[in-house]
Structure formats: C-alpha cells, structure tokens
Structure 1
Amino acid sequence: MPLAPDKKPESMGQTAYRQLREAIETGVLAPGDRISVNGLADQLSISRTPVREAIAWLETDGLIVHQPYLGRVVAQLDHQMVNELYAVRMMLEPAAAAMAARNATDAEIAVLKEMVVFEQSILDNAIERARHNRRFHEAVYRTAHNRYVISTLNALQTSMILLGPATANNPDRLKTAYAEHVDLVECIAARDANGAEKLIARHLAEGQRVHIKYLLGRQQPPT
C-alpha cells in the first residue's frame, strides 16, 4: 500500500529506536542489561549508526543510562522509586477510571470489552501480554476524556515502562490481573464510577506489592 502523501517513511534510526523501546517495555531488554552497539546492530540487522542514534534518544528518555565500569545499561527503578511512582499512580489512575465510568462513549466501552476478550487469548504470551497491558491502561485513560489527566499520566510513561510487567514472573498475578481488567470494564460499562475507582486502586496496590516483592527478592544476598 502506498504511503499517504503527508507521511514520511521511518528512518533507520527511528526504526531502531521504536524496536529498542519496545524491547525494554516488554522485558526483552531487562533493567540492568548492558547495551552493546555492535550486538544490537547485529540483532536488528542494521548498521551501527542508526543504533547509536536510537541509543542516544533512549538516553534522553531516561531508559538507558551510563554506569561507571559497565557502560550503557537499561535503567532500573530502585525500591524507593517504585514506591514513589505508585504513590502518584494511586492518585491519578483511580480518578481516571472514575471519569471513564462517567464519560466513556458506548463505542469506547465496546472497544474496552474487545480488548479484555483479546487479552484472554494472549495470557500465555508474556511479551504480547505486556504490550497489550499498556495499551489497555492507556485506553482507559483516554476514555476519561480529561486532557490534563491524560497528559499527566503520559508524562509518567517512561517510568512506567521501566516497571516492566508485574505479572512476568508471577502466573497467579497474571490471572488475577486479567480478572481485574474484566471487572474494571464491567464497572465502566455500568457507569459505576465508585466501583471503577476502588477496583483500579486495588489493582495498583497488588501490582505494587508484586513489584516490591520481586525487587526485595532480587536484592537478597545468596545463601
């Protein structure tokens, strides 16, 4: 299909940036992983120059940082940073869910229902599930129809990407998180703002618990 007249083709640097950002988002590149220009260029089958461009952009985003003796690595949130991020999310996302219950159109609710049906089909695919989870939460933000809530939550996207999927190493949480998504959409469809607000607060609290448990377990010294 030919490109639209006003749409320019993506540069190699932009392609590399998009692919690397998605790799960080889905956990293919995990927090703390070392970043090698040569290795990534070989993996993406492109030259070193666009990979260097992409890495520079990701450093500007805060997704890649330089550490002494290690070089460039994928940034990682520590215990306190995770708590601080969830504190902000706990203020904003319940409000967004309540607004969604009040303001979502019938067409938007239909799309949210389709999204949870699709989610059920990819529960065994960790990478696709992580990608879809972010799309689902962003869709809920948009159905709130409040530009200030949306812009503030969008500003947190980089840090939220570094959180990674809370369910990645916890199959039980994977199932309960999916069930909570289903219940959230039901609350929005029923125009139950109070129920949506409480449900997303519980959803976030459990996600925070799983992330903190993972961080504390990872930082324990070997026995």
Structure 2
Amino acid sequence: MTDAPQKDAYAMILEAIDSGIYRPGSRLVESELADRFGVSRTPIREALQRLETQSLLTRDGRSLIVASLDHAQMAELYAVRQELEGLAARLAAQHAATEEVAVLRDMVEQDRALLGDPEALARSNRRFHHQIHLASHNRYLVQQLDLVYRSMALMARTSLAAAGRGDDAMVEHAAIVDAIAARDGDRAADALKSHLSTAFQVRLREEAQRG
C-alpha cells in the first residue's frame, strides 16, 4: 500500500463527512479509514489532525468523532454565511458571464426533478451555491466560503428535508438567478440572504420541536 498525499486523504475524509457517510457523532478510526480509502495510516493520521485543528473533529476520550454544532455555533455560522453569500451574489450580478447565468438557470430547472429526494437535492443545492461563489470572480471570497461550507457539513440533517421546503427553495433560487441575470446586485444579495434566513428559520423550528 503506497502513501497518498495528505491533501488527498484530507479531501476524501472531508467529502465523506460532507456526503453524510460520516455524520456528527461518528467515530473515525485510522485503520478503518485507511482500508476504506486505500491509503496508509500516515496520511490518514495527518488528515485527522488537520480536521481536528479545524474543529471539524473533536475528542471523545481517546477517540476522534465528527463534531456537531450547538445552537450558538449554528447561529454564528448562518450570520457569517448570509453576509459572505450575499456579497457573492452581489458580485455575481456584476461579473458573471452570460454562460454562468445560463448554467445557474439550468441548475434550478434540473433540481425540480429532485424534489422527492432531499439528500440528492441537498447535494445539488451545494453545487448551486458554489456556482454563485465562482460567478463572483473573487478568489478570496470563494476561499472563505469554502471554509464556511466545511462547517456546514456538521449539520446532521438538511433543511431541505422539511415538508415543502424543497419547493420553496426552488422558487427562492429562481429569484436569486433572476436578480443576477438582471445585473441587480442589491436585489441579488437581498434574495440570497433572505433565502438563507428562511433556511435558518426552518432549522430553528426543527431544533425547537426536538426539544
């Protein structure tokens, strides 16, 4: 078995967390990860240390587990996300190529076929938002949003699983794209921030119901 670069092990573990293979509270074991990803334990160990440093993993005794977000952390994350993504939408309205806007429109239409599958819709939702980040044409903003989205993976359940939320989200996505296409930065920023505010409210209601 040959060592893969640390960044590959890190990326594979991060993707497994993001895709829900490992959820908040899941225990990560070096030997099991090495077997799953076909790499030696050295890059796995280094990747786990890096993820722990980034607070994506936490200690439970001697074990490393996928971290979870408490109420305050979730509120802080959404506050930062709304501001950064609002800026991304504003910049996309200024800088997005016509082809990038067309791709965003296509994504909204294609997502309608996923409304009965919250997990698939959540994956597509991340791709949609990432496309807006890229359309901002600001590499530093994209980097910061990548960090935010790593922490988003620590939310155990997608807000799109709530009854009716998928349909509403598609309407909100269409409004964001319309504003970007119209080159209206203020409207694009407001539409995206409103979209995220609604998603946050859905999570808060679910949290309250769980008690």
Cα drift, residue 206 of structure 1: 1.1
CA offsets, 1:179-202, max 9 Å, x none? 211221122112232321221111
Cα drift, residue 177 of structure 1: 1.4
Amino acid at match of 1:19: M
Who is 1:200 aligned against?
Answer: 192
Number of paired residues? 209
Q: Percent identity?
A: 36
Kept in 2: contact 1:37–1:48 (CA 8 A): no
Q: In the alignment, is residue 118 of structure 1 matched against residue 99 of structure 2?
A: no
Amino acid at match of 2:49: A
Cα drift, residue 72 of structure 1: 1.2
In structure 2, the CA distance between the partners of 1:168 and 1:108, relative to structure 1 (3 Å rule), is: closer
RMSD, aligned α-carbons: 2.9
Who is 1:72 aligned against?
Answer: 64
The two structures have a TM-score, normalised by structure 1, of: 0.78
> Unaligned 5+ residue runs, structure 1?
1-9
Map 1:37-48; keep pairs closer than 5 Å.
37-41=30-34, 44=36, 46=38
> Unaligned 5+ residue runs, structure 2?
none
Kept in 2: contact 1:25–1:130 (CA 8 A): no
Q: Is the partner of 2:58 in helix, strand or coil?
A: strand
Kept in 2: contact 1:26–1:164 (CA 8 A): no
Who is 2:51 aligned against?
Answer: 58
For 1:127 and 1:51, the matched residues in 2 are separated by: 27
In structure 2, the CA distance between the partners of 1:120 and 1:216, relative to structure 1 (3 Å rule), is: same
In structure 2, the CA distance between the partners of 1:193 and 1:168, relative to structure 1 (3 Å rule), is: closer
For 2:39 and 2:143, the matched residues in 1 are separated by: 35
26, 29, 50: which one aligns with 1:33: 26
The two structures have a TM-score, normalised by structure 2, of: 0.82
CA offsets, 1:61-117, max 9 Å, x none? 322111237x21101111001111111222222222122122211111112122223
Which runs of 4 or more aligned residues in structure 1 lie more than 6 Å from their structure 2 counterparts after TM superposition?
none
Cα drift, residue 151 of structure 1: 3.5
Q: In the alignment, is residue 104 of structure 1 matched against residue 93 of structure 2?
A: no
